[in-house]
Structure 1
Amino acid sequence: VGLPRVLDVMEARSATVLRGLSGDPRFSVTQRSVRPALRRLVKNAIRFRIPARAAQALLKPEKAHRRAERLGVRLRTQLAAPADATALERLDHVERILGTRAVPLLPTVVPGPLAGFAMLGLAYRLLGDRARPGELQTVLRGLPHNVTTEMDLALWRLATRIRADREAASLLLGTPAAELADRFGDGTLPGAVERGLKEFLSVYGVRAIAEIDLGVPRWSEDPTHVIGVLANYLRLEDSALSPDALFARGAAEAVLMIRTLSARVGGVRGRVVRFALSRARALAGIRELPKFSMVTILAAMRAELMTIGADLTTRGLLDSPQDIFFLTMEEVRTALTTTPGKTAPGGSTPAASRENPPTTHGGSTPASPGESAPAAPEGNAPTALGESTPTSSRQSTPATPEGSTPTSPGGSTPAAPEGNAPTAPGGSTPAASRGAAAPYLATLRMIVSERREDAARERRRRHLPRVLLSDGTEPEAVATSAPVDGALTGTPASAGSVTGIARVVLDPVGAHLEPGEILVCPSTDPGWTPLFLTAGGLVMEMGGANSHGAVVAREYGIPAVVGVARATEHIVTGQRITLDGTSGMVITA
């Protein structure tokens, strides 16, 4: 019952779908009381000292900031396996870290931003109708201590230094980013670019587009996207529109708005409003740190897995280290412990290959649910190392009775009965699924090859349902209609109105965004945000008022509308559009 309310601010269109399903008699609510869930929530909050840490953050925000800094240092020093570790020991290390470190770090940093947004909610209640639409959004502009914003500004400062070197700037503007990335790997870029990139990647090289997918190369491995963004920044010549100037202006406007709102209320209530909004600004920026910490862990574990993949490649079991991300952990362990020429324990092929072979995004940019994205293949197959579920892209669906159970938004359906191996395209059963009598180790390359083909096929999909019922019905597809009178509707995300040229971007790697163009995309994650610094506005197919793209747009003062169905299909690059971030309208006519 409460899930649609949560999704209203995170993924508004999914909330609408779930509300529609709740009226269907086939989807009866199995438990109306929230007390059991509330008891579990309170128990875990006390266990991890979240209330105490939140209170401490309110009283002394600087302590919350220092705790966040210590976490970063601890992660960087504790994640690497010993240099002399064997491949099997490295695999044990990866499983231990992913099982014990990834989740427990959240209670360390979550209480700070949690307290900050609680203060924002308090101020909202105290102000009531005395705060006009968009004024509280202004308070969150130019937030300090936001690791994603700091990353974007660091990249901008690097672009500024490169601009001062005419030869280096000319090289970046006149050479394909992929070629420059190769030259960076060879160490043959101009000094200003080479040194600046190394400095930037030493801190932010753990990031990537679709960065919670282990199979995606990090920027430290392939800086093509970063170099392309630098070239975009070099095209921004108006100093008044420079990202650092806009950020400073937004921060100043936020401080002024706090004074204005507190004075508008006056008295004791006004002082409480000022305190609440000041604490919201001091703490809300830390909200990006849990994701950055998680990505730091994943990048370190990816490096360990690549080392294991190199070992398997040396043994002749894989064609390249990257192939390891098309195998499950169990398959990797079996490969490391099985003597060449012998079959794996319990059979000739890995268990995962007897069902649907798992796929990996393996370096692709996942599309948003309901939009441009690879859909997961049918069947509850074991997940390959390279496949992960982006938190911003997957949502839960309500439990349903037998015969009409929605799948997860990733597209998976209940597993087929045991023994019913799915067929490959064309009707044949995949070789890896037939349980051939070949030695286990000899089948690894075949398994990887088949899964690569699956991944390539899935990446060509242009549409991934948010919710799919077991009878094949997509609820949203039934309800979605075409634009009315040239207007698309979505969720207001960042106040303001802008008219400009649209730039539809499905993959930010290599994307060229002219200053002031309106970015139209399926979804965003932190890897997209460098593009925001030159965008005049944002239209996004998924998301809600508190989704990643919406939050970052507000911080930068960019008008934004999110949750616009099929925006990348209804809008084309070069089209002149108007978006109103207050009403949630996008005019395309």
Structure 2
Amino acid sequence: MDVRSVVGLDGVRRGMGDLVGGKAANLGEMVAAGERVPPGFCVTTAAHASGTVPAEPITRAYEALGAGRVAVRSSATAEDLPEASFAGQQDTYLDVEGADAVVDAVRRCWASLDNERAVAYRRANGLDRADVRMAVVVQRMVDADTAGVMFTADPLTGSRSRTVVDAVRGPGGAVVDGSVEPDHYAVDDGRLVDGAGGCLAPGQVVELAAAGRRLQGLFGSPQDVEWVHDRDGVLWLLQSRPVTTLFPLPPQDLPDLPRFYMEVGHMQGMLRPFTPLGLAMLQRMWTRWWGSVGFATGDADPDPLMVGVGGRLFVDLSAFLRSSPLRGRLPQAMDVYGPRARAAVEHLLDDPRFAPRPGLPFPASTGLRVAAALLPSAVFGVGHALARPRAARARAQAAVARLRALRGPGAGAGSASRLDWVTGRALDAMLGRDLTRVIGPVFAGIVTGTAPAALLRGVATREETDTVLGGLPHNVTTEMDLALWRIAERARAHGDLFTRTPPEELAARYLRGELPEVGLAAFLDAYGHRAAAEVDIGVPRWRENPAPVFASVANYLRLDDPEQAPDRRFERAGAAAGAALAELVPRALRRRPVRGAVAAFLMSRSRELAGLREYGKFAWLVPFAEMRRQVLLVGADLAGLGLLETADDVFFLDLDEVRSTVDGCVDRRSLVAERRHLHLRERRRRTVPGTLLTDGTDAAAALPSPAVEPGGLPGTPAAPGRAEGRARVVLDPSGARVEPGEILVAPTTDPGWTPLFMTAAGLVSETGSPIAHGPTVAREYGIPAVICVRDATTAIRTGDLLRVDGSAGTVVVVADAGDGPAATDPTDPTDLTDPTDLTDLTFTDGESPREG
């Protein structure tokens, strides 16, 4: 047997993780730092690799420990890591006594490496079994008076300022396994703020919090600590591992802390993390646009308004929250982000850290310059669209045609010139005159779609004014979805081919020219620059990988009720809108003559303009696709030089890094591998805070949950109507399907999701805004939608029977999945285990793998 088969904890250090596993490495580091840790030893991975339990060395170490009762715990190499704790996934045995019993417990710990829950956990976290080795920790048992668990950050709100402690009388296993309700304590900055009484004295709680802060400093991140007080009241630390679920912190090195941030990516249907280049491009676009209207921020602003946190896009609203003239208006402005965001802002108005200050967040002269740059063209654009909607639409379409003709450097161009084009001429074209000609009609459409509800308050319900917006013409996303439906109709002659062949195989065959012509080429010419999560330049477009398009076609081919055909549903929504308009206008003129006349004009114009809501984003995505193509060519050049592994590795660098790689021939392969790993880890994050403070607190999560009826989930009304159907929980639209009559439950939606609406009876999403893409299209299809339903994709399971009220903004789980059809489809592509393949990251995850 290897002489390194057993080592004492006092000889273990953090860098020995490959030999002793994560748990033992942390314990050894704690011992070396002078913390009070029960003495013990570790059966190493070298012994596990041999396959034979080293009985004799274990016996000797056990006897040297003084024999008696011990705890035997797993310490795999994948345990207690920053990205995966493996908490409770492998076995622990307490009160083990006798050498033979200890040897047997070690053997059983080894076997638990492949128990069902550990296998499932590795699969969910993308860990390869071949990379995991098992060590085992044996420690003297402590005769517990009180015991429990401590987190040095609040796991519910994310606050790094708060330490929380759960404690019970006797051993702490009941806290870990959740079998009893423990006493709960909270400590803010060393001060007990919650939990007076219970089994711990205030001094013990404060002592625990101080120990937790020491461990957090030792390991460099918030810690999950198991502890015990012995019968003499002495504190022992049994285990410390990173808290793996916390959302990353926003910038900490800024003046005037704390800061308040709002996550804005979800307004574009973007909750998955951006690639580094995708985030950098949006930030560059932001600063370039503000600079063009007189608000200079600079590409390297030391105090930026827009920041990336965890790969998501946040905007710093601190200055607005502290501004005396503006802060009172901020809660109402948050309505577009949902009721929880508004409630969070209202709560922070009373927070002394955000006390009001005189003045605006920016100099008055800057405001005047911005107004002078924007107002004339905005007023003209909106006015022209209201007066001559057909001419305004034609003007916008001509602008998009010019953007389609934009091409970057051709064959033979160098990487430097391609980068210059992307960050120079292409950005100027995206943000220039052509986009301005699109934005005017878009703003006019927003006004005509939203103003009537305010003008007719007390005269018409919101449901009635929303019905007027059903079946809107001139919506580019609706037109895209109906074009997909026409492809599906042509594909019916080849039904088995398109429904039984996996979308990825169909995509490959299409690109090889091996499929029958059903109109896909024309579709991709018009819409191939789109994709789910399309605002990230790092995401492949449908033209590159049409697999999601084929998945949607297969979805449509399952429709067998002619009345549920998307074109018929769209027609019915339009007819209902016409009927509502005919009834509302006379009522409005009768009860509010002046307001009614204005509302009647705007509602009639909404049928001409409100559908353009989607056109602004569609327009700037046209040159965005050409910019992506040019960046990929740069990536191919760098891969050819051995500086990257593959062309799409370039999207895991920011703009400055790409430039320095091109100019200095810097090898970026190891950096990209690390970034891909982090990106995949963030892809698995199920919840993203919508509101974030400097210390990591999700301001909305810290609020009390609103009262709802049993089985009900509160949300925000987004598209009127009511529907009942089985839930289909989808985390990514690519490769997913929604059966006719099912309710689509999603984390967010953007135009890449809308093909799924064609067969859905209703929509439920965790984020969004009534004026965002998903609700807009839902209204046009005449399906009810409820948005901002917190944790919908985890609280609801595929197969649950839902009742959705898009007018009231409520979702009720009428019956769980056990009373209905199968909750999951084993053929759905859900594997996200390859951190090196961007195509997999983008296109292979479909429905939620959660089965209950």
**Could you tell me the TM-score, scaled by structure 1's length?**
0.77
Q: What residue ranges of structure 1 are gaps of 5+ in the alignment?
A: 341-440
CA deviation digits over 1:355-374, x for unaligned, max 9?
xxxxxxxxxxxxxxxxxxxx
Task: Give distance in 1, aligned partners of 2:450 and 2:743.
Answer: 30
Task: Give distance in 2, aligned partners of 1:265 and 1:536.
Answer: 31
CA shift for structure 1 position 330: 2.0
CA shift for structure 1 position 20: 1.5
| Contact 1:522-1:542 at 8 Å conserved across structures | yes
Aligned position for 1:308: 634
Would you say 1:114 and 2:443 are equivalent positions? yes
- Say if 1:331 and 1:119 are closer, same or farther in 2 by CA, change over 3 A: closer
Would you say 1:571 and 2:808 are equivalent positions? no
- The residue type paired with residue 3 of structure 1 is L
| Contact 2:731-2:746 at 8 Å conserved across structures | yes
| Contact 2:743-2:764 at 8 Å conserved across structures | yes
Would you say 1:518 and 2:706 are equivalent positions? no
- Say if 1:300 and 1:22 are closer, same or farther in 2 by CA, change over 3 A: same
1:534 aligned residue (759, 783, 805): 759
Aligned position for 2:90: none
| Contact 1:7-1:544 at 8 Å conserved across structures | no
Task: Tell me the SS of whatever aligns to 1:129.
Answer: coil
C-alpha RMSD of matched pairs (Å): 2.2
Task: Give distance in 2, aligned partners of 1:203 and 1:447.
Answer: 37
Aligned position for 1:356: none
1:51 aligned residue (372, 379, 382): 379
Aligned position for 2:342: 15
2:653 aligned residue (308, 327, 339): 327
- Say if 1:200 and 1:582 are closer, same or farther in 2 by CA, change over 3 A: same
CA shift for structure 1 position 153: 0.5
Task: Give distance in 2, aligned partners of 1:121 and 1:448.
Answer: 45
- Say if 1:18 and 1:172 are closer, same or farther in 2 by CA, change over 3 A: same
| Contact 2:448-2:610 at 8 Å conserved across structures | no
Would you say 1:548 and 2:778 are equivalent positions? no
> When the two structures are aligned, how many residues end up with a matched partner?
480
Task: Give distance in 1, aligned partners of 2:332 and 2:698.
Answer: 21
| Contact 1:259-1:274 at 8 Å conserved across structures | no
Following superposition of structure 1 onto structure 2, how do residues 231-380 of structure 1 map, counting pairs within 5 Å?
231-266=554-589, 269=594, 272-338=598-664
CA shift for structure 1 position 205: 0.6
| Contact 2:446-2:613 at 8 Å conserved across structures | no
Task: Give distance in 1, aligned partners of 2:597 and 2:691.
Answer: 46
Would you say 1:504 and 2:504 are equivalent positions? no
Q: Which has the larger radius of gyration?
A: 2
| Contact 2:728-2:738 at 8 Å conserved across structures | yes
| Contact 2:396-2:441 at 8 Å conserved across structures | no
Task: Tell me the SS of whatever aligns to 1:236.
Answer: coil
- Say if 1:549 and 1:120 are closer, same or farther in 2 by CA, change over 3 A: closer
| Contact 1:313-1:319 at 8 Å conserved across structures | yes
Aligned position for 2:282: none
Aligned position for 1:159: 488
1:78 aligned residue (406, 424, 427): 406
Aligned position for 1:68: 396
Aligned position for 1:137: 466
Task: Give distance in 2, aligned partners of 1:566 and 1:575.
Answer: 15
Task: Give distance in 1, aligned partners of 2:369 and 2:383.
Answer: 21
- Say if 1:191 and 1:45 are closer, same or farther in 2 by CA, change over 3 A: closer
Aligned position for 2:352: 25
Task: Give distance in 1, aligned partners of 2:537 and 2:450.
Answer: 36
- Say if 1:38 and 1:144 are closer, same or farther in 2 by CA, change over 3 A: farther
Task: Tell me the SS of whatever aligns to 2:727.
Answer: strand
- The residue type paired with residue 508 of structure 1 is P
- Say if 1:560 and 1:154 are closer, same or farther in 2 by CA, change over 3 A: same
Aligned position for 1:217: 540
CA shift for structure 1 position 31: 4.7
| Contact 1:11-1:547 at 8 Å conserved across structures | no
Task: Give distance in 2, aligned partners of 1:480 and 1:297.
Answer: 45
Name which structure has the greater RCO, CA cutoff 8 Å, separation 6+: 1
CA deviation digits over 1:157-216, x for unaligned, max 9?
1101111x1xx2111111111111111122212233xxx221111111100110011111
Task: Tell me the SS of whatever aligns to 2:618.
Answer: helix
Q: Percent identity?
A: 44
| Contact 2:445-2:612 at 8 Å conserved across structures | no
CA shift for structure 1 position 228: 0.4
Task: Tell me the SS of whatever aligns to 1:237.
Answer: coil
Task: Give distance in 1, aligned partners of 2:752 and 2:565.
Answer: 20
- The residue type paired with residue 312 of structure 1 is L
Q: What residue ranges of structure 2 are gaps of 5+ in the alignment?
A: 1-326, 815-852
- The residue type paired with residue 503 of structure 1 is R
Task: Tell me the SS of whatever aligns to 2:353.
Answer: coil
Task: Give distance in 2, aligned partners of 1:335 and 1:184.
Answer: 35
Runs of 4+ with deviation above 6 angstroms: none
Task: Tell me the SS of whatever aligns to 2:496.
Answer: helix
CA deviation digits over 1:18-74, x for unaligned, max 9?
222121111123356699486455323235x11112111111111111111111110
Task: Give distance in 1, aligned partners of 2:435 and 2:334.
Answer: 21
Task: Give distance in 1, aligned partners of 2:401 and 2:772.
Answer: 28
CA shift for structure 1 position 331: 2.1
CA shift for structure 1 position 84: 4.0
Task: Give distance in 2, aligned partners of 1:84 and 1:15.
Answer: 53
CA shift for structure 1 position 235: 0.5
Would you say 1:186 and 2:512 are equivalent positions? yes
- Say if 1:315 and 1:210 are closer, same or farther in 2 by CA, change over 3 A: same
Aligned position for 1:395: none
| Contact 1:12-1:543 at 8 Å conserved across structures | no
Aligned position for 1:445: 669
Following superposition of structure 1 onto structure 2, how do residues 405-424 of structure 1 map, counting pairs within 5 Å?
none
- Say if 1:545 and 1:328 are closer, same or farther in 2 by CA, change over 3 A: closer
Task: Give distance in 1, aligned partners of 2:728 and 2:451.
Answer: 38
Aligned position for 1:362: none
Task: Tell me the SS of whatever aligns to 1:569.
Answer: helix
Task: Give distance in 1, aligned partners of 2:446 and 2:624.
Answer: 27
